[in-house]
Amino acid sequence: MLALGEAQARAGDPAAEPTFVAAECQARDLADAELAARAVLGRCGVGVTIVGLDAARARALEGALELLGEESPALRARILARLAIELYYAPGRTRADPLSAEAVELARGADDPDALLIAFSSRHVALWTPDGLGDRLAVADEMIALARDRGRPEHELQGRNWLCADLCEAGQIDRFETEAREHARLARRLRLPSFMWYEPLWQASLAALRADWDRAERLIAQAEQAGTDAGDRNAPLFGWGLRAAMRLARHQYVDEDLEKIERRIRESPASSAWRCMRCLFAVQAGQIENGNEDLDCLAADGFAALPRDANWLPAMFELTQAVSLLGDRPRAAEMYRLLLPYGDRHISAMRGTVGWGSGQAVLGHLARTVGNLDQAAEHFEAAIELEHRWGARAWLVKTRASYAAMLVARGGPGDHDRAAELAREAIAQAQTLRIMPAVIPDNVQQLVETPPPS
């Protein structure tokens, strides 16, 4: 039954979990702790899908630990690692880190490469915070090296999956594209559906980054179908997320987006992050009272309502847009202080699927809102350099337009000429990329028609 469950899981067959549950029941009847633990591990799947807290699965993993006791340290390390992953979204976000660290220590002590590779995966998940990027990159590299050295291609594939997400966030887009191709090659060779759907997904992400909207739409449809067939519950969410990000880049909004956001607020363990997106949409739609209500709740006590997990940076990006549109100077100053260390990041989410431009552009908006226009100019110049290097064409339109508007407000020597240059570039690209004209402020539109002051 364990072998059948493994075959079903590798094929993306939803019958795998019932098979493993039945195997676990039989193992418990036999009072065989190791077989029961292997069955519980099987229920967790081939790859790592992080959706929310599955209480039943977490209880099963806790029960397996109790049955094992201190016996079988390598198997215990694997259970601890999977429990750490399962509890990533547990209230307080406190358990994943110590559990994953214990899993690594146990696996190293047992000298078991398979257990250590699974423990590395859990360590990567536990480190998924805004400050953990450097450590995550190191864990992914070590995981890939160990897997290749020990001939464990499936673990190498998982390590590359983590690496691709990290590289996207780090703004290493060229390397992200190269590693995504290597991930696709290995996934096809191993014929693992739970990983193969990332090939069209990440290609769609790159197409969206470059404003190739039609190609991105075709690839999203392929990824959604392949991911759904593989039984990955993230497939429809990631597909919607990328489409919503493309609409945001083009300054387009649909009722479906708000309905999805409201549902995620009710159902998701990351509900506070989804409230940030609702705040942005409300302010963009002119619903200032609704936007302020969310903002008041989320910004209380130094934004303590936002857990510093994988969703923190994109959530703060969404609040930045709302705070800037509202002209909220005190909150903009607080957000600037919090976000300053992350200026060179590519604001991304959903495992490298969704991108929202550079952290430097975010800092530029905040500095402008506070009134530090010289500082804002430095951030916008840095954002243009980064987004040009990444090929983030739609976000370049937004950054250039915002920068031009800021230069008009500053009105220093040479500002009009630089603003007019930026305005011409933004307007031409907006037309080419089918971006709504509303993304260009009125005073920026007028720049290309008005002669410079004498």
221: domain CATH number is 1.25.40.10
The pLDDT score that the predictor gives to residue 453 is 57
Among 433, 390, 425, which residue's Cα sits nearest to residue 404?
A: 425
> Is 433:394 a contact under the CB 8 Å cutoff?
yes
Q: d(Cα 100, Cα 371) in Å, to the nearest integer?
A: 44
Phi and psi at residue 349, in whole multiples of 5°?
A: -155, 175
Q: d(Cα 350, Cα 80) in Å, to the nearest integer?
A: 24
The pLDDT score that the predictor gives to residue 275 is 94
The string of pLDDT tens digits covering residues 367-386 is 999 999 999 999 999 999 99
* Within a domain: 295: no
> Is 187:157 a contact under the CB 8 Å cutoff?
yes
The pLDDT score that the predictor gives to residue 416 is 92
The pLDDT score that the predictor gives to residue 253 is 76
How many domains does one find in the chain? 1
* Within a domain: 254: no
Q: d(Cα 147, Cα 149) in Å, to the nearest integer?
A: 5
> Is 347:173 a contact under the CB 8 Å cutoff?
no
What is the domain range of residue 188? 2-232
Q: In the numeric block, which tokens belong to residue 356? A: 């929202």
The pLDDT score that the predictor gives to residue 352 is 94
* Within a domain: 290: no
The pLDDT score that the predictor gives to residue 452 is 57
Q: d(Cα 49, Cα 6) in Å, to the nearest integer?
A: 16
The pLDDT score that the predictor gives to residue 12 is 87
* Within a domain: 269: no
Give the largest Cα separation in the chain, rounded.
Answer: 91
* Within a domain: 78: yes
Q: In the numeric block, which tokens belong to residue 216? A: 């991105």
How far are the Cα atoms of 23, 121, 400 from residue 385, in angstroms, in the given order? 56, 34, 11
* Within a domain: 133: yes
> Is 188:196 a contact under the CB 8 Å cutoff?
yes
> Is 205:381 a contact under the CB 8 Å cutoff?
no
Q: In the numeric block, which tokens belong to residue 101? A: 């660290």
The pLDDT score that the predictor gives to residue 48 is 86
CB atoms within 10 A of CB 378: 15
> Is 208:216 a contact under the CB 8 Å cutoff?
yes
Non-local CB neighbours of 118 within 8 Å, separated by 6+ positions? 77, 78, 81, 82, 103, 107, 155
The pLDDT score that the predictor gives to residue 178 is 98
> Is 48:85 a contact under the CB 8 Å cutoff?
yes
The pLDDT score that the predictor gives to residue 255 is 79
Among 192, 201, 250, which residue's Cα sits nearest to residue 435?
A: 250
Q: In the numeric block, which tokens belong to residue 25? A: 């029941």
The pLDDT score that the predictor gives to residue 446 is 85
* Within a domain: 182: yes
Mean pLDDT, each 10-residue run in order, the chain (454 residues): 95 92 95 94 87 86 90 94 94 91 96 96 96 97 97 97 97 98 98 96 98 98 96 93 92 83 90 91 81 90 92 93 90 97 96 94 97 97 98 96 95 94 95 90 80 57
The pLDDT score that the predictor gives to residue 22 is 96
The pLDDT score that the predictor gives to residue 442 is 85
Q: In the numeric block, which tokens belong to residue 269? A: 């363990």
The string of pLDDT tens digits covering residues 117-141 is 999 999 999 999 999 999 999 999 9
* Within a domain: 118: yes
